[in-house]
Amino acid sequence: MEYLLPGLLLTLMGAVLLLNLLTLPANWFMIFLVFVWRVVNPQPGAMDMVYFVSLIGLAVIGEVVEFFAQAWGTKKYGSSNTGMLGGIIGAIAGAVLCAPFFLGLGALGGALAGAWCGCFLFEILRGRPAGDAAQAAKGALLGRFCGIFIKCGIGAAMLVLTYHAVWPGLAALPTDGPPAIPAPAVPAAAPPPGTST
């Protein structure tokens, strides 16, 4: 039982981590699971304030990186702010519409295709030539892919932090440094010759 419950928590968090591929807020779901573990479990492990601040900080970084990765991709390939907005809207719409397909994995393809279509459509509506709009849309697709990939990596780092916090033996490690090593005993000096004791 000592290893069973932490193992179940980590397995469940690993499964939730994959929801990033469906463009869902998986990292925040992982934090929710950890919060429930902390409240329900009488021995939650080494889940102190630093642990929770680190976890929330990583989740925030994941959201920021995902957004700016798509923005970087669209700008790098010549998109306007309007095209970038279209890519974001398209990615969300595509993920929602395609989520029912392929056991939910359709959301990933839908998000990527939606990012391309949304950016392309908004650029065409601005009056840009189709070739330029397609090039900008390519950036939206690549940026979205990079954002999802990086967000998954950040979720994996959150999983490793939780492993070190809850796994028996790791969570119980001393936090105040290594144990002190006693100094070796020094033998008493021999009395000088001719001295009686």
For residue 11, pLDDT beyond 50: yes
The answer to whether 147 and 115 are in contact (CB under 8 A) is no
Domain boundaries, the chain: 4-166
What does 163-191 look like in DSSP terms, one character per residue? HHHHSTTTTTS-SS-SPPPPPPPPPPPPP
pLDDT tens digits for range 160-187: 999 998 887 765 444 455 555 665 666 6
Cα separation, 145 vs 73, in Å, equals: 10
pLDDT of residue 174: 45
Cα separation, 130 vs 7, in Å, equals: 52
Proportion of the chain above pLDDT 70, given as a percent: 84
Encoding tokens for residue 129?
Answer: 């030539």
- Average confidence score pLDDT of the chain: 84
For residue 68, pLDDT beyond 80: yes
For residue 102, pLDDT beyond 90: no
pLDDT of residue 187: 65
For residue 92, pLDDT beyond 80: yes
The predicted model gives 29-44 an average pLDDT of 87
Look at the pTM and tell me if it is higher than 0.95.
Answer: no
Cα separation, 54 vs 47, in Å, equals: 11
Encoding tokens for residue 120?
Answer: 């392309």
